[in-house]
Amino acid sequence: MSAKLHIKKGDTVFVNAGDNKGRQGKVLKVDVEKQRAIVEGVNIVKKATKPNAKNPQGGIVEQEAPIHISNLQVLDPKSGKPTRVGRKLDSAGKLVRYAKKSGEEIK
Would the pTM of this model clear 0.85, i.e. be above it?
A: no
Domain edges within the chain: 12-76
Question: What are 45-100's pLDDT values in tens digits?
Answer: 999 999 999 889 999 999 999 999 999 999 998 888 999 999 999 888 899 999 99
The CATH number of 12-76 is 2.30.30.30
pLDDT tens-digit readout, 67-81? 999 999 999 988 889
Do residues 12 and 75 lie in contact, with contact meaning Cβ atoms separated by under 8 Å? Answer: yes
| CA 39/CA 79 separation, integer angstroms | 21
